Structure 1
Amino acid sequence: MAHVLYIEDEREIGEWVEKDLTARGHQVTWLTSGEGLDSYISQSDIMILDVMLPGLDGFSIGRRIKKDHATLPILMLSARTSVEDKVEGLDFADDYLTKPFHPDELAARVEVLLRRFQKQNEIIELQHLIIHTKDGLVVNRETEKEIQLTGKQFHLFQFFLKHLNQILTKEQLYEGVWGERYLEGDKTLMVHIRYLREKIEKNPASPTIIETIRGIGYRVKL
């Protein structure tokens, strides 16, 4: 059973999708807009997101969620069938299904995404840290206490973990985590790395997890 976060403002469609997925054994949280969805993200296994919503549209919501929660699979639903719309959706989402659709197809796509992302739930042991990549959980093995990271801090750390032993430039890190071009002199990355080190390093003043490669960038070695 998975916890499905479903955002859909059309009541008729929302009711039968919620009913169908519940009958298939899933727990469904159905919202009619993006308002208040952040409080459900941490407990969700997958998000089904309609494009046409009141307030922020699904594309805007999906991009924001994916930046901070890269391991949460997102399935876009839309009556917009143009290639341009599909390309825009798949730029950040993991699947795109056009309306009208059969409930069996939606359920099948949900299962495929859940299987794909469950495989990504690695447990990485790194010095004194135990990292559960899918759950966004970082634990200090010596104290057995969870290290609380913000969504952006974990996204940054996860980007390092996906590129273990590689030297990453500031440009690669900024574009990979923030999805924007790095501008020389921007201190955003440096500040986030400092705060991340303060949480995960034994001695932030002499870091051994996130290494600084002078004149190039940073590296995390396994």
Structure 2
Amino acid sequence: MKTNYKILFIFSIACLLVAGTGCKKLFGLERQTDWHFEPVVLDPHINKSAWQFLKDRALGTTPADTIFKRMYQGILYSGIDTSLYLQKNKTFIFLHNDAILRLNKNVITNDCYFGYHFIGAPAVTAKKWEDYPKDSVKNWLLYLIVDGDYTFGTVGPTPIEVKTMLPEGADSKNPKSVMFFSLVNDQNMKFSINDFIGSGKVVQARTAGIISTNGPVHVVDRVVDYINNN
């Protein structure tokens, strides 16, 4: 035990000597130099329209992935006017493939669109867009386009009500066709969708604050829906 204390004492003295003399080595090892940390903020601007961004990431153009492939297929199937994704002063909710079809041990989960919105009687999970009426798919896609510019800097911890492109009255459960945006009030500051008192379906964005040339894009990997339990 005394030997250990002696070693610790000698090591402490050596450290003080190094600190006092500016010696660059201790026991043959380089002394760590001071390093000034400079934070870097990534540029959220993608310098392309929301529509081009969606197509690029659906068709494997740039970069070589297809994370929006199922959303793109739904857009084509529904017949929605694709020029909506070129309009300015809009906020877009983009669907990662998992938001539409997600499997857990080969079973469709109930937090994706196909597993949440049942079809038929008795109710079963869907396996493709064609299992739904085109108008229902179109209405859901319209709900995911919001009037106005909402992203970090314009949204805070208090949920704000925003208007979507879904026509009022098209959804009996959401007659005003609204959505709620807020930021989670913690160090991560995640972008939250439909986090209001009584909400039965809160979704946090997988990636938020992507700035296209015609509006912010927020990417989700779970189904977004308006459920008010009040």
Structure 1 length-normalised TM = 0.25
Rg larger for: 2
Query: TM-score, length-normalised on structure 2?
Result: 0.24
* Greater RCO (Cα-Cα under 8 Å, separation 6 or more): 2
Instruction: Give the structure with the larger helix fraction.
Output: 1
